[in-house]
Amino acid sequence: MTRVACIGECMIELKQAEGGLFSRGYGGDTLNTSVYLARLGVGVDYITALGDDPMSDEMVVGWATEGIGTRRVARLKGKLPGIYMIQTDAFGDRRFFHWRENAAARSLMDLPETGDILQSLATYDVVYLSAITLSIYSPQGRTKLIDALGSARKHGGRIVFDTNYRARGWPDPDVARAVFAEAFAVSDIVLASPEDLLPLYPYESDEQLMARIPCNETVLKLLSPGSIVRFEGTSTEVRPEPITRPVVDTTAAGDSFAAAYIAARLAGAEPVEAAQAGHRLGGVVVCYPGAIIPRSAMPADILPGPGSSRKASP
């Protein structure tokens, strides 16, 4: 059985190249996580909607080449994928510009096959989604998805929610706060950061932010290098090894962290070990431009080795 389902949107990615030009690829937070999960040896399906255009064809072929399952990708006649452009500064920090209002992925919760897709979530060990995933659907669509996540949990699946918050995707902060509360309530693991949460809960400390998340397993990726892992009531600070190469683009740092964290937990690693794995992979990804690094750049030592301790895999 495929172990992980990732739900969300993949867009055409335009990233800076030499001479003021842009190169074309593809990316999206949950798709990026899917790629890195597959590269770490985890069986993963990507759940989304695409158009019937050549660029959508190219995406599906590319995902299959990476080892991602595409059987639950809906194809919509006359639709197109969205587009985003990455602009990075001298320190590798990035800004995103989006053209996605009519993207095919936004219709995923309103299709004739939506019911079958949502029922399929109960067949996975882990279902991964982000706040961006929830932001692209209508209120009715979000309700359908959250209800399906609750049903998947009853069948033994584990829900992983990433608080990847982008204000422009939400009508107002009150709506986002309400949806976050619903997502927290159906999640087994929450991957969060002050960068995501402070716009919704200003001036709160790291401890206050974590207290808002009721689930048993929470990772707060800090503004300074490191994270706080809370598991079974105990919090542990995790500090990564220093990055020795220049940071050129922080795109997908969190997405790759999520992939390594999930992969490590599925392999039986403790949450702290899983966070260390997440930091290791994220520390490599930020040294390359764009969301997806070359396959040849994937390090071989991301996941904990056979001699590490094991506890309570999801």
Annotation says 116 is catalytic: no
Q: Tell the residue number behind the tokens 């001036």, with chain if given.
A: 203
Which residue has tokens 């949950």? Answer: 30
Q: How would you classify the pairing of strands 4-7 and 126-130?
A: parallel
CA distance 152 to 104: 25
Q: Where are the beta strands (DSSP E) in the chain?
A: 4-7, 11-16, 22-27, 44-51, 73-76, 83-88, 94-99, 126-130, 158-162, 189-192, 217-221, 227-231, 234-238
Kindly name the residue from 174, 249, 255, 301 that is annotated as catalytic.
255
**Contact call for residues 241 and 225 (beta carbons, < 8 A):** no
Q: What is the rounded distance in angstroms from the CA atom of residue 251 to the CA atom of residue 287?
A: 10
Nearest CA to 16 out of 5, 7, 25 is that of 25
In angstroms, how far is CA 275 from the centroid of its own chain?
15
Between helix 29-39 and helix 54-66 the angle, nearest 10°, is 30
Strand-pairing partners, residue 218, are 190, 230
Identify whether the C-beta of residue 226 lies closer than 8 Å to the C-beta of residue 218.
no
Query: Which of the residues are catalytic?
Result: 255
